[in-house]
Amino acid sequence: MLFCIRQSSFSIPKVLQKVAAITPAQVFRLKMSQLQFNQRVNPTTGKMEWVAQNKEDYDYFQDVARSSYADMLHDTERNQMYYKAIKLAVKSMHERGKRAKVLDIGTGTGLLSMMADTAGADSITAIEVFEPMAEVARSVTAANGFGKINVINKHSTEVAVGEDKDMQEKANILVTELFDTELIGEGALKAYQHAHKNLMEDDCIAVPHSATTYVQLVESDVMDSWHSLNPIEIPLENGLSTDIYPDPRMEKCPGVPAVHDIQLSQIKRSEFTALTDAVEVFKFEWGSKTLAASGKSYVETTTVNSGKVQVALSWWTLSMDQKGEIILSTAPYWYHPTPDNMQWRDHWIQSVYFIPKPFNMIQGETICIFAFHDAYSIWFDAKPKKTDIIIPHERPVCDYLPRMLWSRPRLGMLNDANRNLAFSKALKKVKFGESVDDVAVCVSDVSLLPLIACKTCFTNGHIYSIENDSIGQKGIRNIVKKNGLDERVSVVEKFPPDDSTPDKSNYQINLLLGEPFFNASFLPWHDLRFWYARTDLQSYLAAEAQILPLKAHLYIAAVEFENLWKIRAPVGIVEGFDVSVMDGMIDHAMEMKDYHEAEPHALWEYPCKLLSDPKSVMTFNFSNPVPDKEIVSVGDLSLDLYDNTSTRTCHGVVLWMVYDLDEEISISTGITERKGFTAKWNIHHKQGVFFLRKPLTLKYMKNEKVDYEIAFIPTTGSFNMKFNIQAR
């Protein structure tokens, strides 16, 4: 095991530094006592390691910085609608001749509590379970002069009412923002149930008042490719083709029933066919004491187009007030009440669900939609209208474990015809299989490369497919067997497969293959794990061994985001309330870090403009093992990709990998097409994004640049990055 301990993490109390008699061993024990150790698998090296973190130095506002709080506070529509509804609730309670006693569950920055105070609430209790945010709420409310607000750092189900307890009396206005993309995924139902039973008076007012969930059934090969492994057609010579067939158990398994949340408005209308109109399936009355933790709904509707029922798209609306006059919608643009003036947000997007057993429908036929929910999730099913229809009762269960390893982006990759064609073309150029003794090894998780190779060009030789996970081994073995290749492809946990110490001459690798792809990867460069695997296999590589891909390149580009910048931008003033205290806390936390950190985002969901040409800043040659010394790249990006009559803002830098399969064929995990400053991003991969804390406004071609300093650390497989903008 590897212990990663930064020397700078240690700090000794000054009083102990003055004790001359303290021994080196005591100093070490004291230092170690200040650390907490977290075990993890390094996503790049694939090795198990322990990461040490100084308990006192860790600043949880780094977590706040990466959360959705800024996104929510930049959601002007949300803020204004909450404010209006809170004012109406306080007014209504006063008109009843009662004191307005507000309970704000999940207060975050305290914004909604400050709104309640300004609206005239007589007492306000704000509950926040996340300690750093509770501290933010106290600081923000105090800075704005709201001394009436009582911030409690507890889960709402732990709050007690009574003399000398958290709340002196029950509240009569319940203000919450406990919703996620699926509406109830953050435990809203349980929180409401507990609050109504223990914390609220009987005739309370809830803000928001209710929520309605909608669903629309569609046909979409694009979205279905994220759910099912389809037969893969591989072109051969002379216009012929061959297919790789999935295991029937993969096809029959309904898959993981969890929601797939995306920015649905980024799906083109040409990429799906609406089969029904949107229909209402659930209504949640947040002010009701009879709110159920589970439920089901049955709706009949008429198909508006013919097609295959594959996907259920879902979103919701909030009725903020009791009269239903203030409505917040999370619908995609084609169903939004104001499509030309939609509020962008990332904390509430839309949900994609997959019908367990797709079926065909004709326009004008009646279709039955079944909706279900438990305390934390929603799921759907659909069937043609029949007299003997049986309503499903149980949630679909993924009963084939290998299916659970195939993430939705991974299925999209494997179903991508262009991607498969690129691998097929590259493999055809490889000299392999001239002898039955040739050996190839494939290093990638749940990979079909060995099957593509055998089906297209390798007539001889044997391929070992390394799968570290036993469930993954089972899944790939079954697909290999389904395609009649079990004599040509062996799925193994390691190479060589023999546990005894083999004669290495019997295990010479003529070809090392990789996509590369690994389940544990979440940043583009984590798939450099292939390089580490190649290094571990160095002693088994034949003198003339071929490696595919040949090399990888780290690319970067400066960008202007249309909206994504909001999730990390300083908040400042929100509806007249100063939230800049939180901005300062986050700035301080981020300044403590020696290097900048990128975060993963699927940029096909977040439109942006290039402000610089993409630039390769680092190359990793897989022909050689991982080096001992750091690889360092220092330079700059010229911000010159914009019209000199326009004003642009540089929000950050995007990073991605490009893999050269050979000298002519490459696969990009980032930009796949480009026209001027418009880029099309790979839909199957997340790119790395570094956000500038202080974006730069560009005017009239002043020759601004982004300076970068990037170092690859071979011992840990990590990158140290620094980006700075300086006006020239």
Cis upstream peptide for 358 (omega within 30°): no
pLDDT confidence of 245, banded at 50, 70, 90? Answer: very high
Distance CA 711, CA 618 (A): 9
Ranking 144-148, 200-204, 399-403 by mean pLDDT, the lowest is: 399-403
Q: State which of 21-35, 520-534, 702-716 shows the largest mean pLDDT.
A: 520-534
653, β-bridge pairs: 558, 690
Confidence check: pLDDT of 157 > 60:
yes
pLDDT tens across 272-321, in order?
A: 999 999 999 999 999 999 999 999 999 999 999 999 999 999 999 999 99
Give the model's pLDDT for residue 235. 84
Please pick, among 177, 560, 605, 704, the residue that the annotation labels catalytic: 177
Q: Write the burial class of residue 69 (CB in 10 Å: 0-12 exposed, 13-18 middle, 19+ buried).
A: buried
Distance CA 523, CA 686 (A): 7
- Catalytic residue list contains 186: yes
pLDDT tens across 74-90, in order?
A: 999 999 999 999 999 99
Q: Which residues, in sequence order, are CB contacts of 422 under 8 Å at separation 6+?
A: 661, 665, 667
Residue 638: count of CB within 10 angstroms of its CB: 15
Nearest to 655 by CA among 714, 606, 610, 598: 598
Ranking 50-59, 64-73, 621-630, 662-671 by mean pLDDT, the lowest is: 50-59
Q: Which residues, in sequence order, are CB contacts of 343 under 8 Å at separation 6+?
A: 75, 76, 77, 78
Q: Where are the alpha helices (DSSP H) in 345-458?
A: 401-404, 408-414, 417-428, 449-456
Give the model's pLDDT for residue 11. 35
pLDDT confidence of 387, banded at 50, 70, 90? Answer: low
pLDDT tens across 429-456, in order?
A: 999 988 889 999 999 999 999 999 999 8
Give the model's pLDDT for residue 644. 63
At residue 609, the 3 state secondary structure works out as strand
Distance CA 242, CA 224 (A): 22
Give the model's pLDDT for residue 504. 65
Give the model's pLDDT for residue 28. 46
The residue type at 3 = F
360, β-bridge pairs: 308
Residue 241: count of CB within 10 angstroms of its CB: 11
CB 444 within 8 A of CB 515: yes
Distance CA 50, CA 68 (A): 28
CB 590 within 8 A of CB 693: yes
Query: What's the residue count for the chain?
Result: 728
Find tokens 């209308």 and name the residue.
Answer: 269
Distance CA 631, CA 641 (A): 29
Helix (H) or strand (E) holding 531: helix 529-536
Question: Is the alpha carbon torsion for 439, 444, 448, 453 positive or negative?
Answer: negative
Distance CA 506, CA 526 (A): 31
Q: Where are the alpha helices (DSSP H) in 322-416?
A: 401-404, 408-414
The residue type at 461 = G
CB 679 within 8 A of CB 560: no
pLDDT tens across 595-636, in order?
A: 678 999 999 999 999 999 999 999 999 999 999 999 999 999
pLDDT tens across 544-569, in order?
A: 999 999 999 999 999 999 999 999 89
Q: Say what percent of the chain tops pLDDT 90.
A: 73
CA–CA–CA angle 112, 118, 120 (5° rounding): 110
pLDDT confidence of 13, banded at 50, 70, 90? Answer: very low
Rounded mean pLDDT of the chain? Answer: 89
Give the model's pLDDT for residue 48. 66
Ranking 199-208, 451-460, 516-525, 586-595 by mean pLDDT, the lowest is: 586-595
The residue type at 73 = L
Give the model's pLDDT for residue 398. 84
Rounded mean pLDDT of 632-648? Answer: 83
Ranking 15-24, 262-271, 358-367 by mean pLDDT, the lowest is: 15-24
Confidence check: pLDDT of 203 > 50:
yes
133: left (phi over 0), alpha (psi -120 to 50) or beta: alpha
Rounded to 10 deg, the angle between the 131-143 and 580-591 helix axes is 130
pLDDT tens across 686-697, in order?
A: 999 999 888 888
CB 551 within 8 A of CB 543: no
Give the model's pLDDT for residue 7. 31
Q: State which of 315-319, 517-521, 592-596, 716-720 shows the largest mean pLDDT.
A: 315-319
Distance CA 406, CA 476 (A): 11
Distance CA 69, CA 73 (A): 6
Confidence check: pLDDT of 102 > 90:
yes
Q: Say what percent of the chain tops pLDDT 70.
A: 87
Confidence check: pLDDT of 23 > 70:
no
- Catalytic residue list contains 177: yes
Residue 57: count of CB within 10 angstroms of its CB: 14
Please pick, among 49, 77, 169, 186, the residue that the annotation labels catalytic: 186
CA 23 to chain centre: 48
Cis upstream peptide for 549 (omega within 30°): yes
